[in-house]
Amino acid sequence: MPLDPSLFAALAGLGVAPPAEAEDPEEQRKRAYDYECAVYPRLGPPGPELPVREHVVPVEGYPDAPVRLYYPDEPGAGTGLPVCLFFFGGAWRQGGVHHPGVAAQCALRAARAGVVVAAVSYALAPEHPFPAAVEQAYAVLGWLVREAGRLGVDRTRIAVAGQSSGGNIAAALTLVNRDRAGYPLASQILEVPALDLTSGHLDLDAVELTDEQRAGLARVVAQYVPREQDRRDPRASPLLAERFDGLPPAYVFTAEIDPLRGDGEAYAAALAGAGVPVAALRLVGQTHESGVYERVSATARVAQAAIADALRALHS
């Protein structure tokens, strides 16, 4: 189906065009932030005011990772709530918990599911290329497990989640964890994830890409993983892992009008083939970004309800 008509109308009425790409990384981040500030309040719901706690996790060999924990209620001693480790999207080079959409979604999910959402401010490319973000993610997971008691979270009820590039990091984290510490992970929630940085699984039937868009995708990947041979590393391209057994049950969301639907759906198939429980949903009529635009899209509301439900399942 073509673009969701209510979404189309809302986007057409914004009167703000997505910014042009900037050469300078800081300028690029500023443009992305300004754009989200301009459009998110009109497309997505605000998040509730929740108690938050800021932490900084030391990471060996890479920058320390700031983590913001959103609590559904004021944390008390011995609460032991389930926790969702969350990685925001932004092409590995922009985004963060200061973005209104990211902050709102973290708070919404914490409140809707009664879980703690731990949002990781991983280091961005090009200043901090692969595998900095994945190693930070792994260090934060270890920290979350080790400090669980003090953080008021339950070390046996941990989900990992991420959007787009954040979905890439979340999936890579489950692989690294399986092969190293082996902490029990209850589930993984991947929203429009990028899972093959060699472009081998892009679904070009999803949308007509212009040459400029293709070049843009290639630049994003080259900034995050400059060395071409590294793009075959499963920490960069989880779809190229040798094995998929022993990974946590997965919820994979793809958008119909997004070439990355090929990545997400191939990953769902690979996990299922290895015996991992998988729920895979393609959001028809939606784009790469629109899965969180609950104010203007019924499909987005259904998708976010499904994610909240997946997080609530951590309680059982």
Partner 1 sequence: MPDYVALARAAGCEAAVLEWLAANEEIAAGLPDLRAADWPRRRRAARELADVLATRFTLPGPAGCVVTEHRVPVRSGEVTVLRYHPPGDDRPRPAHLSVHGGGFIGGDVHEVINDRLLRRRAVDSGFDIFDIDYRLAPEHPFPAGLEDCVDVLGWLAASAAELGIDAGRLGVGGASAGGNLAALAAVHLRDAGGPPLDHQVLEVPAASLYLDRDGSFREHGVLADFGDFAEIRAAYLGADPAPGPAAPAEVRDLAGLPPALVLTAECDPLRDCGEAYAARLAAAGVPVETWRAPRQVHGSAGITATSPIAREWQDRVSGFLRARRTAATVH
Q: Among all residues, which ones are annotated catalytic?
A: 164, 258, 288
* DSSP assigned state of 19: P
Question: Residue 216 interacts with partner 1 (CB under 8 A)?
Answer: no
Give the Cα separation of 90 and 96 in Å (integer): 8
Nearest CA among 38, 15, 50, 6 for reference residue 295: 6
Tell me the closest approach of the beta carbon of residue 186 to partner 1, in angstroms: 14
Please choose, out of 59-67, 96-104, 208-216, 301-309, the segment that lies near partner 1 by the rule CB under 8 A: 59-67
Total residues contacting partner 1 by CB under 8 A comes to: 17
Give the Cα separation of 66 and 136 in Å (integer): 10
Please count the residues of the chain.
316
Spatial CB neighbours of 119, under 8 Å, sequence gap ≥ 6: 67, 68, 69, 70, 86, 87, 88, 97, 102, 106
Tell which one of 58, 273, 275, 277 touches partner 1 (CB under 8 A): 58
Give the Cα separation of 37 and 287 in Å (integer): 19
Tell which one of 59, 124, 260, 307 touches partner 1 (CB under 8 A): 59
Tell which one of 142, 200, 216, 249 touches partner 1 (CB under 8 A): 142
Tell me the closest approach of the beta carbon of residue 313 to partner 1, in angstroms: 21
Give the Cα separation of 225 and 9 in Å (integer): 37
**How many Cα neighbours within 13 Å face the side chain of 209?**
16
* DSSP assigned state of 193: -
Please choose, out of 20-28, 52-60, 122-130, 298-306, the segment that lies near partner 1 by the rule CB under 8 A: 52-60
Name the CA radius of gyration of the chain, rounded.
18
What residues from 174 to 213 belong to the interface with partner 1 (CB under 8 A)?
A: 180-184
Amino acid at 95: G
Tell me the closest approach of the beta carbon of residue 153 to partner 1, in angstroms: 14
Give the Cα separation of 38 and 203 in Å (integer): 30
Tell which one of 60, 74, 211, 212 touches partner 1 (CB under 8 A): 60
User: Pattern 61-90, binding to partner 1, x per CB under 8 A?
Assistant: x-----------------------------
User: Pattern 148-167, binding to partner 1, x per CB under 8 A?
Assistant: -xx-----------------
Amino acid at 100: P
Question: Residue 143 interacts with partner 1 (CB under 8 A)?
Answer: yes
Question: Residue 139 interacts with partner 1 (CB under 8 A)?
Answer: yes
* DSSP assigned state of 279: E
Question: Residue 144 interacts with partner 1 (CB under 8 A)?
Answer: no
Give the Cα separation of 144 and 10 in Å (integer): 39
Tell which one of 98, 146, 243, 315 touches partner 1 (CB under 8 A): 146
Please choose, out of 25-33, 39-47, 143-151, 281-289, the segment that lies near partner 1 by the rule CB under 8 A: 143-151
Binding residues for partner 1 (CB under 8 A) = 58-61, 138-139, 142-143, 145-146, 149-150, 180-184
